[in-house]
Structure 1
Amino acid sequence: MQADNHECPLPAGRFEGREAFRQLVRDALTGAASQAWPELVLSDFDFADWPLGEKEVVESLHRWAGHRRRLTMLAGNFDAVARLHPRFVHWRVRWDHVVVARKARTLGSEEMPSVLWSPMWMLQRLDPVRSNGVSSREAQRLTWQREQLDEWLQSRSAPGFPASVLGL
């Protein structure tokens, strides 16, 4: 069921630049925590430009995570997450039960969606190189974007980025 998008105070419209994108990610995760969003989907080729390792972001994720929450991550490669975002990696280990990580079968970053999606609001980088894109609360756009992400998650990816590595 679609939530009432009027409750979401995040902006809708175009954004330009890496810092604008990073601030929207921070604001979205703060909003997810304060409004108890049930689900988040984060998709990017490698998450190198995302502020996932920042203390403020991890604290927002910590406040958000809990009963009946689900975070799905989709990446072409998780190496940059492990290298650039150690706070997030530590959080991910602790909250493994709410995280589903999928590695996309893709040849390059240009085909991967760069999206933060929730049932209430979404952020999409249309040009990840320049970090330009759009954010929206529009139900039709949210539904369309979720369908695109589901296609990647169901038929173009496999489990990836385990919380721990078992073995010797």
Structure 2
Amino acid sequence: MIDMVPFFVEESGYCRGIQPNIIRLADALRTAGGTVAWVVPGSDQPHADLTREFFGEEVAEVFRTSGGAGPISERLWAGLSPQAEDLYFEKSSYSAFFPGSSDLPEALRAHGIDTVFITGTVTNICCESSARDAYASGFRVIFIADGTAARRDQDHNAALHNIYRSFGDVRPTDESIALLSA
């Protein structure tokens, strides 16, 4: 599962720095016969009223439009490697695995997938939320330490610690590619 939209990547060198690892992992996954799924935030947010109440109208609108508009493959950060055979999803909450947020969990099960590699931005928000819910939904989680990024190192590292302690494995890209090759 990959979540990389310009809204988060444009302002962060950390986020831009993970792009090569995401591309290498996606290519290795396809080569091994796996499925790559791209996820973007949708504009239909079920709790938009709470977001407006908490953050204000201007920030709520930024969040609502953060996933962009148009075909999902064109809403991803430029330079990524989406392919026609990949899966594409919009999500309506931070987690792509939260019940009712997207069709991702059902699509993965329909493809016989029981293990997910999680990459993207932001580590401690969408990626961590997805890892928690994927685990709670019965998926094995491999969280890619150098394929996820947050705005600050301490946020990233705290999320990696949380995932490793309770929700899945945390590995770098090279080790994950080696697992696919084995």
Structure showing the higher helix proportion among its residues: 2
TM class by smaller structure: 0.3 to 0.5
Query: TM-score, length-normalised on structure 2?
Result: 0.32
Structure showing the higher strand proportion among its residues: 1
Query: TM-score, length-normalised on structure 1?
Result: 0.34
Looking at both structures, which has the greater relative contact order when contacts are Cα pairs under 8 Å and sequence separation is at least 6? Answer: 1
